[in-house]
Amino acid sequence: MIDEEAPTRAAIAAFQAGRIEEAIGILREAIGRNPGAAAYHNNLGVMLLACRRVEEAIGCFREALRVEGGHQQARLNLFDGLVNLAGSVGPREAEGLLREALSIRADVAEAHYNLADGGGHWALPAGGGAAGRFAGGL
């Protein structure tokens, strides 16, 4: 019997030991063996987001949702990624990212405020969102 959580546990251990690229590689290999496992895509996205590789992370969260549309954690992590990216782009692109983020989670007042203020001024604080949750394990 295959332990589908083993790659995630190994990746978390490597990541927490500072072996970031090894951790990312473990999950990429797991995805190669089982591309239909939304959890692998989501967990890879969390690691990439923690490394500030935001656009790559967003792609992973989107893939997790493509594979498993109801994957709630991937949906929340996608929100985190979109908001982080909105903080690093111009106002027009930030507006689109914030609107997409709010379509996922309409209850975040800061995103509404930022959208009304022209967008692009707010991002999750260091340690917040998916990246912060990662420190304690996925």
Per-residue model confidence as pLDDT tens for the chain (138 residues): 567 799 999 999 999 999 999 999 999 999 999 999 999 999 999 999 999 999 999 999 999 999 998 888 998 899 888 888 887 877 777 778 878 878 877 777 766 666 666 544 444 444 445 544 444 445
123, 98, 124, 100: which is closest to 112 by C-alpha?
98
Query: Other CB atoms closer than 10 Å to residue 95's CB: what's the count?
Result: 17
- Model confidence, pTM: 0.76
Architecture of domain 6-125: Alpha Horseshoe (1.25)
